[in-house]
């Protein structure tokens, strides 16, 4: 069965520190992988996506993610976090034919001044 696991429910980092949010997936075929961000009261905004090719993907707002097939992971990183990055982050996996799309349960990021 397909699934997406985000093992960290809450993460707190200091402003300016680096960030890594973990995402592991279980999928039988080649997946499409996404990271979305959701600020309070806002809809989901796409940060980046991986379909094929280079396994290191650059996104908006200075985020990047690396696809590691051997570890079934797609972790999100940012070298220096800003206070405005405080939000909830969701990893998602889609089928190649895109008829199925699954979200993880999310990681809430708090940023300390």
Partner 1 sequence: EAGVAQSPRYKIIEKRQSVAFWCNPISGHATLYWYQQILGQGPKLLIQFQNNGVVDDSQLPKDRFSAERLKGVDSTLKIQPAKLEDSAVYLCASSLAGTGNTQYFGPGTRLTVL
Other CB atoms within 10 A of residue 105 CB: 12
Number of shown-chain residues binding partner 1 (CB under 8 A): 26
How far is it, in rounded angstroms, from Cα 40 to Cα 102?
21
97 binds partner 1 (CB under 8 A): yes
User: In whole angstroms, what is the distance from residue 45 CA to residue 59 CA?
Assistant: 11
Contact pattern for partner 1 over residues 17 through 36, marking x by CB under 8 A: ---------------x-x-x
Q: Which of 21, 59, 94, 111: binder of partner 1 (CB under 8 A)?
A: 94
Applying CB under 8 A, does 55 fall inside the site for partner 1? no
With CB under 8 A as the contact rule, the residue among 17, 56, 60, 96 that binds partner 1 is: 96
Q: Does 98 help bind partner 1 (rule: CB under 8 A)? A: yes
Q: Is 103 in the site for partner 1 (CB under 8 A)?
A: yes
Helix residue ranges per DSSP H, 13-72:
none
- CA angle 26-28-32, nearest 5°? 75
Half-sphere exposure of 4 toward its Cβ, with a 13 Å CA cutoff? 25
Q: Residues interacting with partner 1, by CB under 8 A?
A: 4, 32, 34, 36, 41-46, 49, 51, 90, 92, 94, 96-106
């Amino acid at each position: 069965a397909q699934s997406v696991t985000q093992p960290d429910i809450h993460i707190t980092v200091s402003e300016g520190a680096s960030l890594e949010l973990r995402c592991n997936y279980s999928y039988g075929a080649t997946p499409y992988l996404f990271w979305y961000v959701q600020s309070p009261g806002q809809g989901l905004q796409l940060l980046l996506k991986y379909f094929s090719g280079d396994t290191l993907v650059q996104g908006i707002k200075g985020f990047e993610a690396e696809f590691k097939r051997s570890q079934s992971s797609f972790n999100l990183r940012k070298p220096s976090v800003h206070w405005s990055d405080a939000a909830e982050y969701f990893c998602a996996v889609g089928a190649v034919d895109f008829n199925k799309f699954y979200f993880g349960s999310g990681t809430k990021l708090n940023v300390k001044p």
